[in-house]
Structure 1
Amino acid sequence: MTDSARWTRVDDGRFQVDLLTADYRRHAFTRHSHSTFAIGVVVCGAEQFHYRGALHRAGVGSLAILEPGEPHDGQAADPSGWAYRVFYPPADLLFEGFAAPAHFADAVVHDPHTVHLIRSAHEALTSGTDTFAAHSKLTWALASVVRRHGSHAPSGMPALPAQDAAAGRKVTEIRDRLMADLRSAPNLRELADGVELSPFHMLRVFRAATGFPPHAWLVLERVCRARHLLAAGHTPAEVAGAVGFADQAHLTRWFKRVTGVTPAAFRNSVQDPVRTVA
C-alpha cells in the first residue's frame, strides 16, 4: 500500500483549524514544530516520535497532545505503518471558554472517552455533511482534552534571571530579523553581530530557546508561510520564490517532509474551507 494524506481546513468565522487525515507506511516527518497545538488519535498501527527528549509510541486508541513550538519528528513504529487523524487548533480556540491556558505534561495519554470525541469530531468535519453538528462535536472534544489532561502553571512563578531575560530578547531580535524577509536571510556573522554575540554563542542561545538552529528555524517558517499562501490560492511555483526556496522542487521536498503532503495536494485540499455555523 502507498502513503496517503489529506488536509482539510475548517473556518467558523472566528478561527481556522487544519485537520490531517493520513495513512503512512514509509513516510517519515523531519524534525519540526507547529505554531498551533497538534492533537491526534491513531486509528491503525502505531507511530513513534521524539518529543521533549524522549521517544514516545502512540498505538491504536492513543491520544497524542503536542504543544506549540515543541520540536518533534514522526515515523512508523513498525513496518505496517500507521493511520491517524490530527487536529491543529490554535491556542485561542483550544482554550476558548477557559479562564487560562493549560499545559500538557504527557505527550501520549490513554483516554477512550476523549479519543472517541476527537475521532468523531474529525470524521464529522472532514465529511462536511452536517457542519453545525460537527462544530459542536469539535467544541466538546477540545474541551475534554483541556479538562481531562491540561494542568495550570502555579501562580506567582519566579521571574526569569536577568541573563535569561536578556537572552530571550536577543532570540526575539534574531527571529524578527529572519522574518523580516524570508527570501533573503542574513549571513551568520551579520545575524550574530546584530545581537552582539559571537556566532557560536548566538547559535547556542537560539537553539536553547527554540529547539532549532536559526537556519532550520527559517526553513520551517518558510514552510509555514507557504501553507498560508497555498491556502490563499497561490500556485506552488509562485509560493516557492515568495518564501525563499530556490525553486519549486526545493519547496516540495521540504513541504512534504514537514506536512506529509506535496504543496499541490495541500493547496487542492484547503482551497474551499468547510464553513461551520457557530
Structure 2
Amino acid sequence: MFHAQIVDYAYPLHAHDTWTVLILDAGAIRYDLDNRHCAVSGGDYVAVLPPGVVHDGRPAANAPGFRKRNLYLDPTFLPASLIGSAVDHTTFRDGPLRRALARLHQVLDADEDPLNAEARLAMIEQRLTDHLAAAPSTSTRPEPQAARALRALLDEHTVQAVSLAAAARLLDRSVPHLVRSFGQAFGISPHAYIIGRRIEAARKLLLAGIPPAEVAITVGFCDQAHLTRHFRRHTSTTPARYASVTGSRAASI
C-alpha cells in the first residue's frame, strides 16, 4: 500500500513491476499512460495501471492536488493478456469495487485477520478481471515474434536495461503491443523478466564470494537495498544470508 497527499508535484515518467490500483479520496489527477492522456477523480472511480507500462502523474489543472491510496499487486495477480486492455481502459466507474478497495486498505492498515483481506482481494480480482476482459481493445493481437525479439533485446541489456520506449522504436511496435505480446508469450512483464535475470546473475556472483554491495551494482541494481528487496522476494532470504548459508554448506561438503 501507499497513501499520499500530493500538492505541487509531478511524478516523472516511470513504470512499476506490479499492477497498481489507485483510488482518490480528494482532488483529481492527470497522467499519461503510454501516450494516452488519462484522468481520474474521486467518487466511484478506480484507476488500474498495468505492470511494465510507462506513465507519469500530476494534479489535474483545476485541482490543487490529490489524496490517493495505491494498492500494488503482484504482476501475476491478473493475467498478462489483460495488460493491453488496461492500457486502453485504465479507469472504471464502479462503486462496489471502489468501496471494496477502500475497505481493503483499512483491513491491511489495521493488520486484521489475513482471511478478511484475502476474501476482499478475491472480490477485487474478479471485478477487475470482468472489467478488463469485457473492454474492447484497440490494440493489435499479441505477436509471438515481437515477444521473442523483445526478449533477445532484454537479454542483451540485462545490466543497463533498455527502455520499453527505445525497444518499441527499434522493433517498430508500440509499447502496449510489446508488453502484451511479451506477457502472452512468457507469462510475465518485461520488467519482471529483467529482474529475474538479474537475480539469477546475483546468485552466481554471491556463490563466488562477491560482496552483496558489489553484486548489486554489477548486475544492474541501484544499490544493495534495491538488490535485497528483489532478492528476498525471489528467494525468501537476503543476499548476505544466501551467500553465508550456501557458502557454509559448500565448506561442509
Name the TM-score, length of structure 2 as normaliser. 0.59
Are 1:123 and 2:106 an aligned pair? yes
Are 1:241 and 2:217 an aligned pair? yes
In the TM superposition, residue 24 of structure 1 has moved relative to its aligned partner by 1.3
User: Unaligned regions of 5+ residues in structure 2, if any?
Assistant: 177-189, 203-212, 234-253
Q: Deviations over 1:71-101 (max 9, x none)?
A: 2111111452111112222343335xxxx86
Are 1:85 and 2:85 an aligned pair? no
Q: Percent sequence identity over matched residues?
A: 21
Question: Matched residue pairs, number?
Answer: 195
Matches of 2:66 and 2:59 in 1, distance apart? 6
Taking only aligned residues, the RMSD between alpha carbons, in angstroms, comes to 4.4
Cα separation, partners in 2 of 1:243 and 1:25, compared to 1, 3 Å: farther
Name the TM-score, length of structure 1 as normaliser. 0.54
In the TM superposition, residue 26 of structure 1 has moved relative to its aligned partner by 3.0
Matches of 1:106 and 1:23 in 2, distance apart? 25
Cα separation, partners in 2 of 1:158 and 1:114, compared to 1, 3 Å: closer
| Secondary structure of residue in 2 paired with 1:93 | coil
Corresponding residue number in structure 2 for 1:45? 27
Residue in structure 1 matching 2:4, options 22, 34, 38: 22
User: 8 Å contact 2:89–2:135 — kept in the other structure?
Assistant: no
**Structure 1 outlier segments of 4+, above 6 Å:** 237-240, 245-248
Higher relative contact order (CA 8 A, sep 6+): 1
Higher helix content, 1 or 2: 2
Matches of 1:113 and 1:148 in 2, distance apart? 13
Cα separation, partners in 2 of 1:36 and 1:246, compared to 1, 3 Å: closer
Matches of 1:210 and 1:47 in 2, distance apart? 23
In the TM superposition, residue 117 of structure 1 has moved relative to its aligned partner by 0.8
Q: Deviations over 1:191-219 (max 9, x none)?
A: xxxxxxxxxx97722574547xxxxx99x
What are the residue-to-residue correspondences of 1:187-206 with 2, within 5 Å?
Answer: 204-206=169-171
Are 1:55 and 2:37 an aligned pair? yes
User: Unaligned regions of 5+ residues in structure 1, if any?
Assistant: 1-18, 189-200, 212-216, 230-236, 256-262, 271-278
